[in-house]
Structure 1
Amino acid sequence: MPQLDKDVFGPDAVPEVVAAFNAAMAERFGELPDIWDVGIDAARSRGLRPVPPPSPRAFDIEIADGLSLHVVPSTRPRGVLLHIHGGGFILGGAAHQDALLERMADEVGVTCVSVEYRLAPEHPYPAAWDDCHAAALWLLEHAGERFGTEALLIAGESAGALLAVATLLRLRDRGLADRFLGAALNFGVYDSTMTPSQTLARSGALTAATIERIVEAYAPEAATRRHAALSPLYADLGGLPPALFTVGTLDAMLDDSMFMHCRWLAAGGRAELALYPGADHAFIETPHPCAAAANARIDRFLADCLESLAKDTTR
């Protein structure tokens, strides 16, 4: 794994297989249409990316009026993973990444519970934040009886990573964040006023113009966008669990992960940064050559968090 060094960001750091993959994808797909070209309804019904088939072992449970959880169980759970999907707060669903959840269920030994949170623009801030908080509180109360373990982890991708941090902040303020043993935060957006890498993005999976419209959808009141809930980069990050920040060097959210990694450490927390040269947004959910290594590191990190609890309880 490359260290944080200037050479990580240059073209020479991109492995040949990654450069070839990127070139092949660019030739095959060109510049993909964004949400606004397709339209939100069409993007939701047809999808901008193929949705993997549902897991045959998955099931849904309703925990409150209009709020459900999508569960991919582990046969021998050592913990429960609260998962928050991405999609710019506009797209996606709790059942749209069963392949990812199955992998973590099997490799980490966790029952994965994904939140079916409300989407923008119909339901802007704080709807998704409230739903994820409610799901976390439900797990704190019911994980043991429903899933056989009270050891909890949290993970999210893109918008889901922001929601994961916001959920931890709410729990921390209630004295409950220490119940979560670790956070896998993948290519998250942590500044809704846009970091430099967002502002300068002109190509790739996310451009500045697309990001600006996404922000307008989930945070229509501009005056609120630097509040800690919408931009956790500006929050007091003390008292949060260990975190792994995963991001590619071509991602418009590159700065977000690098900045949050440093701020997590500065607040006294434990944090790791996993950088993948030549990877763009959401690469761990694609056949990208870096995806297998990145997912394996995420699995190891989450397993280590569970192992730390096991060691503490045997002392």
Structure 2
Amino acid sequence: MNDDFVRHFRSLDNARLTVPEPLASSKADVTVAEYEIGSDRIRLYVIRDRMSEPDCPLYLHLHGGYFINGHGDRDLCFGAYIARRLKGIAVSVDYPLSPEARYPAALNACVQAVEWLQNQDVFSFSREKMSIGGYSAGANLAVGTAIRQMQKTGNLPFKAISLQYAALDFVTASDEKFRRIGREPENDIIPDILTCYLGENTSVQSDYFVSPLFAPEQALSEFPPTQILTAGKDPLRIESERFAGRLNNAGVKVLLQTFADADHGFMLNFQSEWMSAIEVVASFLATTLRP
């Protein structure tokens, strides 16, 4: 394991810009409570709109960062914006990071968060208005969590799923992903990321809990309405489009939208069209959970 890679990758993320308006002020109208659950003390940030009612919707947010970088203020502000638009709750999961905690630790933590939310009596929300989503690695975990929960219980608790520039395919080589969108291959960090996430067990990268693009159709057919946002310049765009096609073929209602001038990470790196994309997510969730 290249410790220098991990330190460098995390330092880049920590050096990102502060949260701009109108996202930054979203926290003024919400309450934020922290809970630690399970023997691993997984931290959940429960962000509640001050005007929410007991039977309000809930959105479970899974942050990105290629399984290496953690939860931050950007995620709290994003969650606050969603909670306000839902007049409900957003829960952000601070799942364990690689390489300190390798696959399937992050996925297990997200599944545990779902089970805790369904069974806790600390705060109220409607179990019939629960949704899940995430960006990049978080979108990967959102799909995996949905499938794992369905396999464990025979029931999918989510009424909506929102995926933003999802990392769904760790089988296709990065160079090929760049070529498919007409870009010259750039510095390839995916092998280092996979080593962090999987350790030496790289044979599981085709497992559909690592590469959800290849999930069985039977599992996908149970998905609720699913929103997929992509960035036109993102090497991961094609795998999201393929996943949207697979969901559509399985009979799932899919809303696919591409932000043509954007690149990977644009929403919470506050790049081209970032606020428009966040509003698209909020509108989809509000419309689906509060019809």
Q: Same fold (TM over 0.5)?
A: yes
The CA RMSD over aligned residues, in Å, is 2.7
- Equivalent of residue 210 in structure 1, options 183, 186, 189: 189
Q: Distance in 1 between matches of 2:92 and 2:37?
A: 12
Equivalent position of 1:312 in the other structure: none
Matched residue SS, 2:150 = helix
Moved more, 242-251 or 187-196: 187-196
Distance 1:126 1:88, change over 3 A: same
Note the residue ranges of structure 1 that are not aligned, 5 or more in a row.
1-35, 309-315
Q: Distance in 1 between matches of 2:278 and 2:42?
A: 28
User: Structure 2 length as normaliser, TM-score?
Assistant: 0.84
Equivalent position of 2:287 in the other structure: 304
Give the paired residue count.
271
Distance 1:209 1:289, change over 3 A: closer
- Equivalent of residue 17 in structure 2, options 50, 57, 65: 50
How far off is 1:119 after superposition? 0.5
Cα deviations by residue, 1:228-281 (Å, 9 ceiling, x for unpaired): 111111112121111100011101211121011001111221111010111001
Distance 1:58 1:87, change over 3 A: same
Note the residue ranges of structure 2 that are not aligned, 5 or more in a row.
none
Equivalent position of 2:43 in the other structure: 68
Question: Are 2:222 and 1:247 equivalent residues in the alignment?
Answer: no
Q: Distance in 2 between matches of 1:297 and 1:197?
A: 30
Q: Distance in 2 between matches of 1:246 and 1:177?
A: 26
How far off is 1:147 after superposition? 2.9
Equivalent position of 2:95 in the other structure: 117
How far off is 1:37 after superposition? 10
Distance 1:37 1:120, change over 3 A: closer
Question: Are 2:218 and 1:238 equivalent residues in the alignment?
Answer: no
Equivalent position of 2:270 in the other structure: 287
How far off is 1:196 after superposition? 6.5
Question: Are 2:209 and 1:229 equivalent residues in the alignment?
Answer: yes
Cα deviations by residue, 1:187-238 (Å, 9 ceiling, x for unpaired): 011111136676427999x946112221221123121111111111111212
Q: Distance in 1 between matches of 2:176 and 2:42?
A: 32
Q: Distance in 1 between matches of 2:133 and 2:254?
A: 14
Q: Distance in 2 between matches of 1:200 and 1:275?
A: 17
* Alpha-carbon contact 1:198-1:211 (below 8 Å) kept: no
Q: Distance in 2 between matches of 1:207 and 1:140?
A: 43
